[in-house]
Amino acid sequence: MPRKYAQVPELSLKAYTDGDAVARAEFEEALFEGFKYFGFIILKDHKVSHALLSRAYKLSAEFFAQREDKKLPFVQPDCQRGYTPFGREHAKNSKYPDLKEFWHVGRQFEKESPLAKIYPPNLWPESPAGFRDTFLVLFDALEEAGLVMLEALAPSLDVARDYFRNMATDGNSILRLLHYPPIPEGADQNSIRAAAHEDINLITILVAAEGGGLELLDRDGKWLPIDTDPENLIVDAGDMLARITNDLIPATTHRVVNPSGPNVSRYSIPFFMHPHPDAMLSCIESCKEERVKYPDIRADDFLRERLAEIGLAG
């Protein structure tokens, strides 16, 4: 594949939402090329406010700083909502646990909503104050940013602009609050904060982390650190997007390495954008070429298979 960019491209979402026809076309081309070569792009000038991001990180750190007996009541067997303790998740095909703990926020709905038959309800701790409201607002803001990006990707794949919005409306998306504690004494030397993996979903929108360590595996087989301004969003393509594009857009392997400097906590907040459970992951017509690599599968069936592979389902 010809290499158009020397590094992960940094794109202005405002150029697409508020720009003229030329700016929009340039954004669409750069988005497609960035995803094709790196599987990653960096997004600036988005509408997720800096104040909201700062508040989210503050509350995340306050929650994880609480004693274990304040967090463990929120553990769920399937890990799809609430708290997942340190060392529970591992990468696919790895027997070594990742050195992290996290909290999951899903789609919010009323008890009488049809979604109540599909998704488990969110869990909310009593403290810190403002936790629920902050992360529901952040969920919605990141979801809309993701839908706008996918709208911009659609023309390059020769599908309708609302193709992905239709697929992801009421989708099984997850906001994950991640805490990588200081590496504990006696930790298995084979474990790192997040072992090499690909994401399961359509796209992941990662609020630029407080603390470095994120690396992607580029097409030359080299690990490339991803660092950017804390107000930017880092976006990567997941397995579901790779599947429906016949790997034209690959799900790029990435990891979070242990700190090489001070042994301090790292926090990050990824938003995993998923389709509706009944959406069919079918190869897009323009991506079929000589053969289709993957059979059609329901989004929920694919998700369940992958969750079992990483230790988050039975």
Domains of the chain (ranges plus CATH)?
45-309 (2.60.120.330)
According to the model, what pLDDT value does residue 2 have?
A: 55
Average pLDDT across the chain, whole number: 90
Q: Is the pTM of this model over 0.85?
A: yes
According to the model, what pLDDT value does residue 20 have?
A: 96
Question: Token pair of 121, please?
Answer: 């309800």
Q: Which residue has the tokens 């959406």?
A: 279
**Percent of the residues in the chain that have a pLDDT greater than 70, as a whole number:** 95
According to the model, what pLDDT value does residue 210 have?
A: 67
According to the model, what pLDDT value does residue 88 have?
A: 75
pLDDT digits (tens, 9 = 90+) for 119-158: 999 999 999 999 999 999 999 999 999 999 999 999 999 9
pLDDT band at 227 (very low <50, low <70, confident <90, very high): confident
Phi, psi of 122 (to 5 degrees): -70, 155
Task: Decide if pLDDT at 215 tops 60.
Answer: yes
* Stronger pLDDT, 313 or 173, i.e. the higher one: 173
**Percent of the residues in the chain that have a pLDDT greater than 90, as a whole number:** 66
pLDDT band at 83 (very low <50, low <70, confident <90, very high): very high
